[in-house]
A and B are shown apart, each in its own frame.
Chain A
Amino acid sequence: DAKTTQPNSMESNEEEPVHLPCNHSTISGTDYIHWYRQLPSQGPEYVIHGLTSNVNNRMASLAIAEDRKSSTLILHRATLRDAAVYYCILRDKGTYKYIFGTGTRLKVLA
């Protein structure tokens, strides 16, 4: 199975940037890196995805290492509403199986 490794938890102060790391050393050349987040008692929601180049959208930025074995999700200014579990996800090669892992629980301090 494709595997990602993330810290169990992180804390950030409100209005400050947050860098959420993910290791995916088994990634293959054609695998996209996906990030979702899950607020309490809700289904996951899409944040961003990328292949090789860094990506930006209205929610976040995704920085992908040159060897693609790691990536970092960047929230530019954390708000209390960003408190959630963030998942870095790969798709198992040749299947439709997306591997979520245990994610990083982000706590935002007021």
Chain B
Amino acid sequence: GAGVSQSPRYKVAKRGQDVALRCDPISGHVSLFWYQQALGQGPEFLTYFQNEAQLDKSGLPSDRFFAERPEGSVSTLKIQRTQQEDSAVYLCASSHSGGTLEQFFGPGTRLTVL
């Protein structure tokens, strides 16, 4: 398909487990964003990539959260030693540019930490 895809769509983890969430952006899109959306809240910015460079990681809540985009296309968000407060929908978005252009969002990965 031509849109942003994310996998898995749902993930259940036991507290303390590590998880990896994948994002496949639209082909050719330079910019990639990760957001966290808690239940009933708006998305909150986590991090931003321009190609393979992580230019802004100011939204990552702790050093347990790590994101990478090694070849400038697919990105992975990794959460180590998951905790219950990490339960949320994790959204990925891509765009041609990090400026004013439209962001295209994926469907998200719903993470539940038990």
Contacts and interface: CB of A to CB of B under 8 A. Distances in A.
A102 B107 CA distance: 19
Interface stretch (A15-23, A60-68, A72-80, A90-98): A90-98
B59 A97 contact: yes
Nearest to B98: A96
B interface majority secondary structure: loop
Given A42-B107, A43-B93, A102-B41, A96 B100 contact: no
B55 A96 contact: yes
Contact of A44 (B56, B58, B91, B98): B91
Interface in A29-57: 32, 34, 36, 41-46, 49
Interface of A: 32, 34, 36, 41-46, 49, 85, 87, 95-103
Interface of B: 4, 33, 35, 41-45, 48, 55-56, 58-59, 91, 93, 98, 100, 102-108
